[in-house]
Amino acid sequence: MGDGGSVVKRFLRPFRGEALRVPPVWLMRQAGRYLPEYRATRAEAGDFLKLCYTPRLAAEVTLQPIRRYGFDAAILFSDILVVPDALGQPVRFADGEGPRLDPIRSREGLAGLDLPGTSSKFDIVAETVQRLRQDLPPETALIGFCGAPWTVATYMVQGQGSPDQAEARLWAYRDPEGFEALIDVLVAASIDYLDRQVKAGADCLQIFDTWAGSLPDDEFDRWVVKPTRTIREALADLHPDVPVIGFPRGAGATAVWYVSETGVDGIGCDTATPPFVMSEAFDEEDVVVQGNLDPLLLVAGGARLDERVDEILDLMEGKRFIFNLGHGIVPQTPPEHVARLVARVRSRG
């Protein structure tokens, strides 16, 4: 999206080369079960995917944390598993449980996936983005997103969340060409999905690679870096001004390689990323650093929360930086601790 001569949103300024004294702030999973108003809208929707596929309600829950806290960016309310669901591998969210899918464990299983068929569900999500573009305060940026092909594949192959992503890793070892065919479908679907989100009004995109850290280096290169680079390059051709943030959770020191090889404009650092990596390791890269407060410290609150927020801000002073958590907000987070965090970040001004 062009700036049209208007003032660049604060959130986007680090991507234009500015290090702000008060960095932009947003939090992963800022819309979610820790907010009573989210729980009410979720109850109205009935099930979780219905919430994602009802633009009026999905836009409402996206706006809830913006009304409360005035974050610099809103993130589209949806889920990374909308992509397999749209591809024809139905996703179910049973109450109190994680997602469930009928697993695909071989090349033959790919025959049921329908890439052109994603259109109708992606259109619904684009409608949510259009609504948000109208309803968001003009100064608030809108982040669109998808799951990275590797992370989405781990759910499609396992059929649910897992501690070790074993089924996807085993398929990738036993039949790399077959597994690559799955990744290729996800790359194509992700490009289309993100393109539609930008056309509908997203200002920035984030690619969530929650399980990037479960792969050794050669596998990381093939299943994390290469697909992400393909997506990043396609988006650069379509929308050269829209920044893309990568979040290769658990990548450790390999995150520097990830940045230089994928060409992402922002790097989301997880909770375990050491201070010197945050503040120095990316100096040679043209990249905005984002992160990395521990979501559990946001649950604990108190003076330790204030101290840690200050430590991160001191560490990143003078850098192109966006304040965030190192992973998503957890449901037991007291909403007033989030207000305290935002106030603390902004008190630097």
In this complex, which beta carbon is closest to ligand 1CP, that of residue 143 or of residue 279?
143
Query: From the CB of 97, what's the least distance to ligand 1CP, in Å?
Result: 8
Query: From the CB of 83, what's the least distance to ligand 1CP, in Å?
Result: 11
In this complex, which beta carbon is closest to ligand 1CP, that of residue 208 or of residue 279?
208
CA distances from 188 to 175, 181, 194, 228 (A): 20, 11, 10, 11
In this complex, which beta carbon is closest to ligand 1CP, that of residue 79 or of residue 265?
79
Among 42, 169, 249, 344, the active-site one is: 42
Structure tokens at 57: 């309600």
Structure tokens at 286: 């043209």
321 binds ligand 1CP (CB under 6 A): no
The residues with which 73 forms a beta bridge, in sequence order, are 141
Cβ pair 284, 305 in contact under 8 A: no
Beta strands in 41-84 (DSSP E): 73-75
Question: Exposed, middle or buried, 64 (CB in 10 Å: 0-12/13-18/19+)?
Answer: buried
Q: Cα dihedral sign for 174, 177, 178, 183?
A: positive
What's the DSSP call for residue 16?
A: G
Q: Which single residue is written with the structure tokens 């200050």?
A: 310
Q: Angle 119-98-103 (CA atoms, 0-180°, nearest 5)?
A: 60
79 binds ligand 1CP (CB under 6 A): yes
Which residue of 15, 77, 150, 171 would you call a contact of ligand 1CP, by CB under 6 A? 77
257 binds ligand 1CP (CB under 6 A): no
80 binds ligand 1CP (CB under 6 A): yes
Residues 6+ apart with CB under 8 A from 115: 87, 185, 188, 189
Query: From the CB of 94, what's the least distance to ligand 1CP, in Å?
Result: 10
Query: From the CB of 108, what's the least distance to ligand 1CP, in Å?
Result: 26
32 binds ligand 1CP (CB under 6 A): yes
Query: From the CB of 193, what's the least distance to ligand 1CP, in Å?
Result: 13
Residues 6+ apart with CB under 8 A from 300: none
75 binds ligand 1CP (CB under 6 A): yes
Q: Report DSSP letters for 291-338, one per residue.
A: EEE-HHHHHH-HHHHHHHHHHHHHHTTTS-EEEEESSPPPTT--HHHH
Structure tokens at 193: 């999905």
98 binds ligand 1CP (CB under 6 A): yes
263 binds ligand 1CP (CB under 6 A): no
30 binds ligand 1CP (CB under 6 A): yes
Nearest residue to 54 via CA among 125, 156, 151: 125
146 binds ligand 1CP (CB under 6 A): no
46 binds ligand 1CP (CB under 6 A): no
What's the DSSP call for residue 163?
A: S
In this complex, which beta carbon is closest to ligand 1CP, that of residue 131 or of residue 279?
131
Annotation says 29 is catalytic: yes
282 binds ligand 1CP (CB under 6 A): no
d(C-alpha 122, C-alpha 83), whole Å: 8
Which residue of 29, 133, 319, 348 would you call a contact of ligand 1CP, by CB under 6 A? 29
Annotation says 79 is catalytic: yes
Active-site residue numbers?
29, 33, 42, 79, 155
Interacting residues toward ligand 1CP by CB under 6 A = 28-33, 42, 48, 75, 77-81, 98-99, 145, 147, 161, 208, 210, 328
